[in-house]
Amino acid sequence: MYTENTPIYLVRSYKDLVDQPEHPDLTGPPTPGRIYFTGKITTVLSLEQKIRTGSSNPYSRRKNQKSRPWLVLEVKNDGSFLVISLTTRNNLVWKGLKEKDARSFLPLGTTPGYEGRNNVELLSNVYGIFKGTSLIFLEVEKTVYRDSLGHCIGEITADGLDLVLRERAMYRLQIAMEEEAKRERAFAEREEHRLRRRRDCISHGSSEIMDRAFYSGETSIRCTLEARIFRRGHRMHTAAQKVLSHIAEIIITVKRIGEGGGKKGLNGASEVSEAKVDILRSGRLVGHIYVNNYVSLVIGIHHKNPISQQ
């Protein structure tokens, strides 16, 4: 006669334990909510995941292939199973976890909770493996087939399965929102950097244009133009603005066309009344811009039908 206190190595079959009334029948095909113990599932964890799961050597590049429990979440149409990992964090449980990292775990059975984290209730703990140190790791999921699952060692309740699925969906939503926020911040930083470079180019580049125009009859430089273009003090045609705004970088040629009236400009040079700027796009002349050193960049378009024809 075998009892629950009989050492496991003296039990002829796990069915001897299943026969006890408090344990449901865990034979048959895998179903959602059942827990299987296997070493045939290989996982590749990131450095952050290794640290969160209490790895003793998180910097190792070896794949994580060790025997551990896996909880079946879903049976797919092709006969495969979606499973999620269980861990004890090297028996650390919640120790050393920050609040942000703790959301990746759910306590299983009698495992102590963590600041309001609901426990996933066990329906069956056949071999007594779950002794209050097990956590469901919401970050690691795998799709496997039956031959990779090993032996069934327990099962959670229907309410416990609903809790896992709900917390998993909430976790994935939070991660997606955080990733979107990161992308938005990165985009904002890139846009701010781009605008800063544009402002620097406008403020310093135009001065460089004029400075070079003072000393040479003609010179070529590369700069970025503003999208706000004016023609004789009035806003240009919308199509022309749109075309020019898409020219990120152009080669412009500054030609000295006027002489100053004796007034001293940059670097003590005689001030040029205005400079004619040829706009080249892919080597083609697409328009002219008149620049003087009183305006940051652009004050007018010379051609009657500038750029809008392009």
pLDDT at residue number 151: 86
Cα–Cα dist 266/294, whole Å: 11
Share of the chain above pLDDT 70, in %: 54
Total residues belonging to the chain: 310
User: Span 3-29, mean pLDDT?
Assistant: 53
pLDDT in tens, 134-182: 999 999 999 999 988 888 889 999 999 999 999 999 888 888 888 888 8
Any long-range contacts for 277-285 (C-beta under 8 Å, 24+ apart)? 277/209, 277/252, 277/253, 278/252, 278/253, 279/225, 279/247, 279/250, 279/252, 279/307, 280/250, 280/251, 280/252, 280/253, 281/247, 281/250, 281/310
Cα–Cα dist 56/47, whole Å: 12
Q: How confident is the model at residue 74 (pLDDT cuts 50, 70, 90)?
A: very high
Report whether pLDDT(75) > 90. Answer: yes
User: Span 107-121, mean pLDDT?
Assistant: 85
Report whether pLDDT(118) > 50. Answer: yes
The structural architecture, per CATH, of the domain 8-156 is: Roll (2.30)
pLDDT at residue number 284: 62
Domain ranges of the chain: 8-156, 183-301
pTM over 0.75: no
pLDDT at residue number 144: 92
pLDDT in tens, 46-72: 888 888 888 877 777 766 567 789 999
User: Span 237-263, mean pLDDT?
Assistant: 41
pLDDT in tens, 179-209: 888 888 888 888 888 777 766 655 554 445 4
Cα–Cα dist 102/92, whole Å: 12
Sheet strand arrangement including 81-87: 105-107, 135-144, 81-87, 68-75, 34-38, 151-156, 122-125
Cα–Cα dist 138/103, whole Å: 8
Q: Which two tokens stand for residue 122?
A: 């066990």
210: amino acid identity, one letter: M
Cα–Cα dist 181/185, whole Å: 6
Cα–Cα dist 18/2, whole Å: 11
pLDDT at residue number 10: 43
pLDDT in tens, 265-303: 333 333 334 445 555 555 566 665 554 433 333 333 333
Nearest to 121 by CA among 75, 158, 84: 158
